Structure 1
């Protein structure tokens, strides 16, 4: 289960890295008037998830349970920040495109508007799978 959770975590990170690159590439980290995602939330989510992934890799290869528990505990604030971002992304995603010649507004210009729904959903589903597989691994259930 440890390797399965590691694979799920890496796939989750791949989707997150894709969205982070689109958001940064669209200027989300520079222009706070266009984005609905606070940079501190975005980068906090990324940093905590990356730290957790590194610790999980250490756990998987060393079988050091305290490190594994810390890695899983880091997923609590990661998940909370992820929920905050989804709740702020939904209105941007649902906003109707401006008619030709209309004034541009923040939801239509937001860099996060370009996130593919499949990537957002896949990232969330894989995140849940990562937590479940991680708990099964550290509790030594099924593997």
Structure 2
């Protein structure tokens, strides 16, 4: 189950990198000054930073078998998931419905859905794997 979590983690990261690329190429950083985007820079960069940090802890757990690393990875992943859910609700609230408004208005619904689905699956698999130790 630990390796399955890595697979879904990488899938989520791929879709997340695509969404971050769209946000950056759509002028997300420039729109911060004019308040056009609904995503604060801190939120945009904290979510993937925490998710990648959690993945590094998870890889350490898979290599060493240390239970503390599994639970650390899960805890950091939980914070990343909360930040992701925050962005999702902001996107649903305005970004997606206001096409062309804000860099997040360019996000394809399918990419957001697949990123979220892979993220939730990763969260569940990581929890199940951590509790089976």
Q: Distance in 2 between matches of 1:137 and 1:84?
A: 26
- Alignment: residue pair count: 130
Larger radius of gyration: 1
Is 2:10 the counterpart of 1:7?
no
Partner of 1:30: 30
* Structure with more of its chain in helix, by fraction: 2
Task: Supply the RMSD in Å over aligned alpha carbons.
Answer: 1.4
Within 5 A, what are the aligned runs for 1:71-90?
A: 71-90=73-92
TM-score under structure 2 length normalisation: 0.91
Partner of 2:112: 120
Partner of 2:59: 57
Alignment partner for residue 92 of structure 1, among 86, 90, 95? 95
Which consecutive aligned stretches of 4+ in structure 1 deviate over 6 angstroms post-superposition? none
TM-score under structure 1 length normalisation: 0.85
Once the two structures are TM-superposed, the CA of residue 30 in structure 1 deviates from its matched residue by 2.7
Alignment partner for residue 132 of structure 2, among 133, 137, 140? 140
Q: Distance in 1 between matches of 2:81 and 2:112?
A: 13
Q: Distance in 2 between matches of 1:133 and 1:25?
A: 32
- Residue ranges of structure 1 left out of the alignment (5+ in a row): 98-107
Per-residue CA distance 1:6-53 (angstroms, 9 max, x = gap): 101111111111101111111212321221111101111111111001
8 Å CA contact retained: 2:31, 2:102 = no
Once the two structures are TM-superposed, the CA of residue 109 in structure 1 deviates from its matched residue by 3.3
Per-residue CA distance 1:91-119 (angstroms, 9 max, x = gap): 22112x5xxxxxxxxxx231111111011
